[in-house]
Structures are given as structure tokens and as C-alpha cells.
Homo-oligomer: A and B are copies of this chain.
Amino acid sequence: MREGTTYREAMRLAIREAMIADERVFVMGEDVADYGGTYAVTMGLLEEFGPERIRNTPLSESGFVGAGIGAALGGMRPIVEIMTVNFSLLALDQIVNTASTLRHMSGGQFSVPLVIRMTTGAGRQLAAQHSHSLECWFAHVPGLKVVAPATVEDARWMLPAALADPDPVIIFEHSGLYPMTGSMGEGPVDLVSAAVRRAGSDLTLVASAGMVPKALAAADQLEMEGLSIEVIDLRSLRPLDRSALQRSVERTHRALVVDEGWRSVGLSAEVAASITESCFYHLDAPVGRLASAEVPIPYAKHLEEAAIPQVDDIVAAARMVLGGGMVRDGGIVHA
């Protein structure tokens, strides 16, 4: 009976299974132990595996992320949890200057088989310092692999794939998805391909992480107007599955990219540029981009909602692309 598992439980199951299967695997991060994880992902694991392997750290993001890199170099398979992407800003030196470069700088002598999990996204009124969606920064860096599970199945199966990978893998979990239920499937899954979550022929909607359920809801709504929308879940943000995007848009001739991150120089730009490069002569309209308003995420609920793409915004933007128009540049202000 696999229906009805939550994204959170799927993640926890994945960690637990990995720890049982391989004693080199351990979890390290702030409040992963007694507290049970900020988002309760590691709840109960301390009791089962003890404090060595469910290892609480002091508040020292650079220190424990770097220690994870070192432990990976030393033969372990650490799963480092950074509470949220907001705090990863304190650890970027280690991630970018060390984890992503070591293999290359050493001429291929060293692997860093490290998995970093962190939550991303807004939507909980946590305001500007707790609501970043900075996946795009990581997706820019050679030497990293970056994935964003948007389904319970990926929450369950991306972790073992990441642990099996000899290179550093960053898993972005969207904090809004933890209570979502769904089927875990049978696994395994890969870390490189995009998935068509819904087939369609009039427009390709590209989304990732927390935007996938919204894109699907928007597609349902548009279907009632007789429009056939294909929804692609990027799954892997680095590498991007450019050929999946190409295949889809060559059929639909139109695309809209939806991104919870800010618009300028973000993920949506790369997806739009990539589709345009590969499908230029197939496109009936410019690729649309719908991203978060270019503002630090405000606390007030109505302002926060207005800042982030909502289902209605996606519907409106899709209609715009279908009409051949350009999705308005800059933040969309919602009615």
C-alpha cells in the first residue's frame, strides 16, 4: 500500500534505507538529531541510528558543509542537511570553491561523493531572509549536480541515486511540498532527465519543484477552455535535460517557463534561451517567462502571494503566450 506517502516520509524512508544499506552513510546538520530536523524529515532517526550517524552540528554552515566534503574525501557518504537555502549563503565558499573544483583541480584524483539536502522556496510568510529560491546559482556551477524533487516518487528515489553518484549532488526540497502525498513508485530514478508530467500539444509549460503542482493545476484549468498543455518537470537543474525540452517544443511550438526564483539572470532565462536555441525555427511565439517579482519576499500574506507565481498567473501567462504575445517583463503584479 504505497499510496498516500508524504514527500517528507518518502525522504525519510530514503535516508533510512540508505543508512541501513551502507554504513558509510550518515546525516549531519543543524538540529537533525534531537529536534528531528527543522522540517521533521529526520524525525526518529536519532533513536534508530544514534548520534554518531545522525550528527547534530553547531550553527556553522561553512564548517559542517566543509566537514562533509572532507568526510566524503575520506571515504564516507555524508548527507549534509542545510536547513534552508538561505543559510547556504554561509557555505558557498565550501560548495563552490572546494566541492565543485576538487576533482578538476586535482586532475581527477579526488571525488567528492557528497549529498547536500536543503529546503528552498517561499510561501510560508517567512519574509526576505527565509524565502529565497536560489537554485539557479547552484545550477550555474560546473562540477555540481543539482536536482529538485517535485513528486513523492522523486523524494523517495533521488537520494539513493545521489548517494551512488561519485560527485557532489545538491537536492533542493521545496518546503511547501513536504505534506504532499502521492505514490512512491518502485524506483530507481535518474538524476539527469526531465519528466513529462502531463502530455499536451498546444503549449509546453516548464516548471520545477514547488511550481510543478501549480503548473499542473493551471494546465487542468486551461484544459477546460479546450487547450492542451504539456507540463515538463525539470527534475534536474544541472545538467538540464535540453533535449526533452526540445522534443516537446518542436511539437507544441510554444513554451512558458514558470520559476519561483527571481526572473533576471535566473533559471527561467536559461530554459528560455535553451529552448529558443534549439527550437528557433519551430517557435510560433517567444518563449514566455513567469517568475517571482523582483523583490525580497515580503512577510504580509497578500504581498507574498502577489510576489510568487500563482495558478491564475500561470493561466494568464499561458494565454498570453498562446496569443503570440510577450509575458510582461519584470515582476507581474497580480489583480
Task: List residues of chain A with CB under 8 Å of any chain B CB.
Answer: 62, 86-87, 89-90, 92-93, 96-97, 100-101, 104-105, 127-129, 132, 136-137, 139-143, 237-240, 242, 261-262, 264-270, 272-274, 276-278, 280, 283, 285-287, 289, 294-296, 298, 326-327, 329
CB < 8 Å neighbour of A272 from B96, B273, B294, B295: B273
What separation, in Å, do the CA atoms of A327 and B276 have in the docked complex?
12
For A267, list chain B residues within 8 Å (CB): 265
* Chain B minimum-CB-distance residue to A294: B142
> Closest 4 CB pairs between A and B?
A280-B286, A269-B269, A101-B128, A89-B93
Contact check, B143 vs A296: say whether CB atoms are below 8 A apart.
yes
For A270, list chain B residues within 8 Å (CB): 264-266, 269, 273
For A128, list chain B residues within 8 Å (CB): 97, 101, 104-105
User: Contacts A269-B265, A287-B276 known; A296 to B101 CB distance under 8 Å?
Assistant: yes
Contact check, A96 vs B89: say whether CB atoms are below 8 A apart.
yes
What separation, in Å, do the CA atoms of A266 and B137 have in the docked complex?
9
Contact check, B97 vs A86: say whether CB atoms are below 8 A apart.
yes
For A238, list chain B residues within 8 Å (CB): 264-265
For A242, list chain B residues within 8 Å (CB): 329
For A136, list chain B residues within 8 Å (CB): 140, 265
Contact check, A286 vs B295: say whether CB atoms are below 8 A apart.
no
Oligomer: number of copies = 2
What separation, in Å, do the CA atoms of A296 and B234 have in the docked complex?
25
A-B contact pairs, 17 of them (CB 8 A): A62-B90, A90-B93, A97-B128, A97-B129, A105-B296, A137-B137, A140-B266, A141-B262, A142-B294, A143-B296, A240-B264, A265-B267, A266-B270, A269-B270, A273-B276, A276-B287, A280-B286
Q: A269, A274, A285: which has the most chain B beta carbons within 10 Å?
A: A269
Contact check, A329 vs B265: say whether CB atoms are below 8 A apart.
no
For A137, list chain B residues within 8 Å (CB): 137, 140, 265
Please give 13 more A-B residue pairs, beta carbons under 8 A apart, in addition to A136-B140, A140-B265.
Answer: A89-B92, A89-B97, A101-B129, A104-B128, A104-B295, A105-B127, A140-B262, A142-B262, A143-B296, A238-B264, A264-B270, A272-B273, A280-B326
Contact check, B273 vs A280: say whether CB atoms are below 8 A apart.
no
Q: A240, A266, A273: which has the most chain B beta carbons within 10 Å?
A: A273
* Chain B minimum-CB-distance residue to A128: B101
* Chain B minimum-CB-distance residue to A139: B265
* Chain B minimum-CB-distance residue to A127: B105
* Chain B minimum-CB-distance residue to A298: B104
- Minimum Cβ distance to chain B for residue A35 (Å): 22
Contact check, A272 vs B264: say whether CB atoms are below 8 A apart.
no
CB < 8 Å neighbour of A142 from B86, B239, B273, B296: B296
For A327, list chain B residues within 8 Å (CB): 277
For A62, list chain B residues within 8 Å (CB): 90
Contact check, B265 vs A276: say whether CB atoms are below 8 A apart.
no
- Minimum Cβ distance to chain B for residue A222 (Å): 22
